[in-house]
Structure 1
Amino acid sequence: MATNQELGARGEDLAVRHLEDIGLDVIERNWRHRSGELDIIARDGDTMVFVEVKTRSGIGYGTPAEAVTYTKQVRIRGLALSWLALQQGPWVQIRFDVIAIVVGRDDNPVITHIRAAF
Structure 2
Amino acid sequence: MAEKDVLGRAGEDRAARYFESLGFTILDRNWRTRGGELDLVVASPVELVVVEVKTRRSESFGHPLEAVGELKKARLWRLSMAWLAAHPGAAQGRRLRIDAVGLIGPDPATASLEHLSGIV
TM-score normalized by the length of structure 1: 0.91
Contact in 1 for aligned 2:45/2:94 (Cα 8 Å): no
> CA RMSD for the aligned pairs?
1.6
Q: Which runs of 5+ in 2 are unaligned?
A: none
- Per the alignment, residue 42 of structure 1 pairs with 42
- Per the alignment, residue 8 of structure 1 pairs with 8
Q: Does 1:85 find its partner at 2:85?
A: yes
SS in 1 for 2:76: helix
Distance 1:37 1:43 in 2: 18
TM-score normalized by the length of structure 2: 0.90
- Per the alignment, residue 99 of structure 2 pairs with 97
Give the superposition deviation at 1:115.
Answer: 1.2
- Per the alignment, residue 60 of structure 1 pairs with 60
| Paired-residue identity, % | 35
SS in 2 for 1:31: strand
Distance 1:42 1:97 in 2: 10
- Per the alignment, residue 113 of structure 1 pairs with 115
Give the superposition deviation at 1:91.
Answer: 4.0
Give the superposition deviation at 1:93.
Answer: 1.4
Q: Which runs of 5+ in 1 are unaligned?
A: none
Distance 1:68 1:88 in 2: 27
SS in 2 for 1:45: coil
Q: Over residues 22-79 of structure 1, what are the superposed CA-to-partner deviations in whole Å (9 max), with x where a residue is unaligned? A: 1111100000000100000010222110000000000011111111111011111000
Dislocated runs of 4+, deviation >4 Å: none
Distance 1:11 1:86 in 2: 26
- Per the alignment, residue 33 of structure 1 pairs with 33
Equivalenced residues, count = 116
Distance 2:99 2:113 in 1: 13
